[in-house]
Structure 1
Amino acid sequence: MTSRHTVHSRPFRPDAEEEEKKAELKATAKKELEEWYARYHEQIEKAKLANREVSKNAEKEWVHERDSPAPKGQEWEAIAKLCDFNPKAARNSKDVSRMRSIILQLKQSPPQTNKTP
């Protein structure tokens, strides 16, 4: 009984080798975490730059398309491109479903213009 009693009564003291391994693991984990954050922030910055470039190009293309004259007979199609046809049911907004339907009808069958002087 004395051997068992002495094992339990002895205070737990981690040896130096175990403490050294813990410190090494903590240092490795800290280094890996810092590297991960560096890669993460680098990816975010690259994505921001790419998104800005895409946005600039899309805006330039939209302005060019908006400012270029529509071919004869396709004026209503150009107007329909500028309109938002997604229905939005906000309480404070006006109902524009009738306007949307008229623009779509004009796009599909534009009115005949008489050009007789």
Structure 2
Amino acid sequence: MERGAKGTPRNANSRKQEAEWKEKAIKELEEWYARQDEQLQKTKANNRAAEEAFVNDVEEISPGTEWERVARLCDFNPKSSKQAKDVSRMRSILISLKQAPLVR
């Protein structure tokens, strides 16, 4: 019953299976695009909120609050940092500048 010529049951089964795979692939692609779009919308919303908070924070500049602003932007805890780069030198420079500011 399994012959290799055109129009045989073997070709019909392979065409049927190929059509099923294509349908499944199309469905998976649609789901992936939906998830990507949802993630993009969440990222946009988070970025807008962060930008708004940053702009509000920039507008509140007052003398004497420089180091508090630097401390909010920097992670001074070396163990909680998940960065691959070593930032200990930068951290030590900022701490030394806070303790003994440069004189103008």
Q: TM-score range by the shorter chain?
A: 0.5 to 0.7
Gaps of 5+ in 1: 1-11, 90-94, 107-117
Matched residues, number:
87
Answer 1 or 2: higher relative contact order, Cα 8 Å, separation at least 6.
1
Gaps of 5+ in 2: 77-85
Partner residue in 2 for 1:17: 9
Shift of 1:78: 3.1
Give the alignment of 1:6-85 within 5 angstroms: 13-14=3-4, 16-68=8-60, 75=65, 76-82=67-73
Which of 1 and 2 has greater Rg? Answer: 1
Report the TM-score when normalising by structure 1.
0.54
Q: Following the alignment from structure 1 to structure 2, what is the Cα–Cα distance between the partners of residues 28 and 96?
A: 58
**Letter matched to residue 13 of structure 1:** R
**Letter matched to residue 72 of structure 2:** K
Residues 24-74 of structure 1: per-residue CA shift (max 9 Å, x gap): 00000011111111111221121111101101101111222332366xxx7
Aligned-pair identity in percent equals 19
Report the TM-score when normalising by structure 2.
0.60
